[in-house]
Amino acid sequence: MARQAVADGIHYVLATPHHLDRRYQNTGLVVERAVAELQAELKRQQIPLTVFAGQEVHLRDDLATALPHLLGIDVGRRYLLLELPHEQVPNYVAQVIFELLQQGTTPVIAHPERNAQIMAQPERLYDLVQQGCLAQLTAGSLVGQFGRAVKSTALELVECGLVQVIASDAHLMARRGFMMRAGYQALARLDSTNPASFAVNARLLLNGDPVVLGEVLRPNQRRKFWLF
């Protein structure tokens, strides 16, 4: 996968294994050790890829109490990659977001375009962004990797300015690769979108620097709807 990433034009990867969901418990210490071992092997094999340790943290109502033990997108934990349940946006999410923001951590919602409730009601993501969240789209969603409905939602969220960063969400080389180049090519076909801004935001998140939101529209106020 490291060689595939480099071939796709990627030189920096934030490794974000799932944490705190029902199947996976990848503690910060375990992730940091694994990433250190991987980085040593990449250096040995002369693969020009730098990997950082992170987590994709599953939403739960007491998440704020676990925050000191979690890995953020950046070292200072200014940003936290947050995964919603796949089928819904729970009612308690607003309280969790409030508590995280009170501690100086901004949640970055992972792959919102694949959340069933956001697909049906994209204004739910608008509400989260208005509260102070950011959102991260999966590159493959823009090119139909997860089906037409997800692709349509992804394009709508981008068009409304509700997404600030694009990620690979790569899992397995054969089944779910990086697809970053294809994702950025899809963004380039949108007249109202500057693909370079997503790359800039990714660096800002990794460095723990402020991300400035552009124009954000409620989905039913969007100017265009793209399906190609």
The CATH number, out of the four listed (1.10.645.10, 3.20.20.140, 3.40.640.10, 3.40.50.150), of the domain defined by the range 57-210: 3.20.20.140
pLDDT on residue 174: 57
Domain boundaries in the chain?
A: 57-210
Residue 53 has phi, psi (to 5 degrees) of -90, 135
Percent of the chain residues past pLDDT 90, beyond the cut: 80
Task: Quickly tell me which residue has 């071992």 as its tokens.
Answer: 37
Kindly report the pTM of this predicted structure. 0.92
128 with 59: CB under 8 angstroms? no
pLDDT in tens, 95-154: 999 999 999 999 999 999 999 999 999 999 999 999 999 999 999 999 999 999 999 999
The lowest-confidence range among 37-46, 75-84, 213-222 is 213-222
Residue 2 has phi, psi (to 5 degrees) of -65, -45
67 with 96: CB under 8 angstroms? no
81 with 59: CB under 8 angstroms? no
Give the integer Cα–Cα distance in Å for 126 and 160: 9
Evaluate if residue 225 carries a pLDDT over 50.
no
pLDDT in tens, 196-221: 999 999 999 999 999 999 899 999 75
Contacts of 220 (CB under 8 A, 6+ apart): 123
Q: Average model confidence (pLDDT) for the chain?
A: 92
Give the integer Cα–Cα distance in Å for 105 and 123: 23
How far is CA 108 from each of CA 123, 164, 225, rounded to the nearest angstrom? 16, 9, 24
Query: In the chain, count of helices (H) and strands (E)?
Result: 9, 8
10 with 183: CB under 8 angstroms? no
pLDDT on residue 193: 83
Contacts of 37 (CB under 8 A, 6+ apart): none
